[in-house]
Amino acid sequence: LLFEAKLDDYCDETIYVDIKDSIQAKRLAERRLPLATLRALNTGFDALRDKEKATYVVDNSSSLFKLYKQLKRILR
């Protein structure tokens, strides 16, 4: 939404958090949320464009530990 609203112009740097659709669907199911939630989250969302525009890309398909490790590297 940051890029769609052109608010990235107000940011020095941006972080895109990437996740595989299958893992996102699994996590939603674990939280007992309907798959329609996944579709709603991705409607009108151009992931490739946003990913290319971001300063950094982190992968959220693994553990929290690995996600935090990636973020720690960026924030140094």
Separation CA 25–CA 41 (nearest Å):
11
Domain-embedded: residue 65:
yes
70 in any annotated domain: yes
pLDDT score recorded for residue 41: 73
48 is in which domain, residue-wise?
7-75
Residue 1 lies in a domain: no
Which residues, 6+ apart, have CB-to-CB distance to 40 below 8 Å? Answer: none
Checking if the pLDDT of 23 tops 70, the result is yes
The pLDDT of residue 44 is 65
Higher pLDDT, 56 or 48: 56
Split at pLDDT 50, 70, 90, the class of 75 is very high
Domain count, the chain: 1
On whether residue 2 sits in a domain, the answer given is no
Residue 18 lies in a domain: yes
26 in a domain, yes or no?
yes
Average pLDDT of the residues of the chain = 89
**What average pLDDT does the segment 30-52 reach?**
81
Residue 39 covered by a domain: yes
As a whole number, mean pLDDT of residues 3-27 equals 92
The answer as to whether 24 is a domain residue is: yes
